[in-house]
Amino acid sequence: MRSFQICHLDEALRPKVQDRIDNLNKPKGSLGRLESLALQICLIQQTLTPSLHHPCHLLLGGDHGIEREGVSVSPREVTWQQMINFSKGGGGVNMFCRQHGFSLRLVDVGVDYDLSAVPGIIDRKIARGTENFLYGPAMTVAQFDQAIETGAALAEDCAAEGCRILSIGEMGIANTSPSSLWMSLLCRLPLADCIGAGAGLDTAGIRHKQEVLARSLARFQTLCPENDPVDIIRYFGGFEMVTAIGAMLRASELRLAVLVDGFIMTACALASCRLYPAARDYMIFGHCGDESGHRKMLEAMQAEPLLRLGLRLGEGTGALCAFPLVDSAVRMINEMNDFQHANITKYF
């Protein structure tokens, strides 16, 4: 795996940023979470006048071998069907990108279908889906490295266009299964606490999913008893998920704010932080979704989500919904007057 040079945020600017926020013409602390968001973004960009120029959203598609075990209510063909739908502008992700002015990149990194001729989809296919991790690793070392490199290159492309905030979403039937296993191993939580209904499994379906994942976990622990984070990520992950990790790490290295979506992308954020703890400084968590375990994973990362709307669509839609709050935080520090210039007596 390539190495990244990710530094914790330089705190030297914090007193100046805090003083600026405290002297805006409002009671001290009265804009609550917007104030802490503004502070984080100023420290990421190392400026008193931050910008959210050219926001970009990566939508990464990939299929999972574990889907063959019936752990998802949806069949794998939904992955390629939705990718084509996104290419025509008809998905939830398309609507929110249009609404909030995001540049959308649709990227096939592992869909089990030939999308190479579909206009609007970037072909970075590593393979047509991962292997079934019930029987062995989902991907090879070479494939893992390729996915990390692909994500890093995608983040670089966005940064080269002037992007200052990167959002990432996914399309991959059955990807709650690897996410649950990552969560269990990386947070050291019982597997049962990490498994939910995904796109809509009933009680019997959830029980079957638990059995399949428990067997997969037992095999992994026999083969990889050290529980090394790279082994965990590679053994269970999807190509779209590992690509997201590469994008998150490179974005952090480039000092971009990373807007994190729901259960799947929070699992990718968790994995990123287990590899490079400083990456956590650059992450803004958009929402807490309906998938069982999402709240616990956020708590394990000491992450406070901006929204709680009961979302579980994926695609990055929850992160996109949260963007206006981030925008408000930046507008606050850039556009509000201070007491001195407004000739208002401080009233706190």
* Residue 315 annotated in active site: yes
Structural domain harbouring 33: 11-50+333-342
In a domain, 225, yes or no: yes
| 88 & 142 share domain | yes
pLDDT at residue 198, rounded to an integer: 63
| 92 & 28 share domain | no
Q: What is the CA radius of gyration of the chain?
A: 20
CATH number at residue 22: 1.10.1610.10
261 and 167 Cβ atoms separated by less than 8 Å:
yes
pLDDT per residue, tens digit, the chain (348 aa), is: 899 999 999 999 999 999 999 999 999 999 999 999 999 999 999 999 999 999 999 999 999 999 999 999 899 999 999 999 999 999 999 999 999 999 999 999 999 999 999 999 999 999 999 999 999 999 999 999 999 999 999 999 999 999 999 999 999 999 999 999 999 999 999 999 998 776 678 888 889 999 999 999 999 999 999 989 999 999 999 999 999 999 999 999 999 999 999 999 999 999 999 999 999 999 999 999 877 689 999 999 999 999 999 898 899 999 999 999 999 999 999 999 987 887 777 776
In a domain, 258, yes or no: yes
Q: Which of 149, 161, 315, 335 is catalytic?
A: 315
Q: In what order do the strands lie in the sheet with 165-171?
A: 121-123, 103-110, 56-62, 165-171, 257-260, 283-285
102 and 321 Cβ atoms separated by less than 8 Å:
no
pLDDT at residue 281, rounded to an integer: 98
In a domain, 214, yes or no: yes
| 31 & 180 share domain | no
Q: In 3-state terms, what secondary structure has residue 180?
A: helix
| 197 & 95 share domain | yes
| 213 & 131 share domain | yes
| 144 & 39 share domain | no
| 248 & 141 share domain | yes
| 39 & 65 share domain | no
pLDDT at residue 199, rounded to an integer: 64
| 243 & 99 share domain | yes
| 171 & 77 share domain | yes
In a domain, 3, yes or no: no
| 229 & 249 share domain | yes
Query: Crossing angle of helices 263-275/239-253, nearest 10°?
Result: 60
| 111 & 35 share domain | no
pTM of the entire predicted model: 0.96
- 79: tokens are 């992955």
Q: What is the count of structural domains for the chain?
A: 2
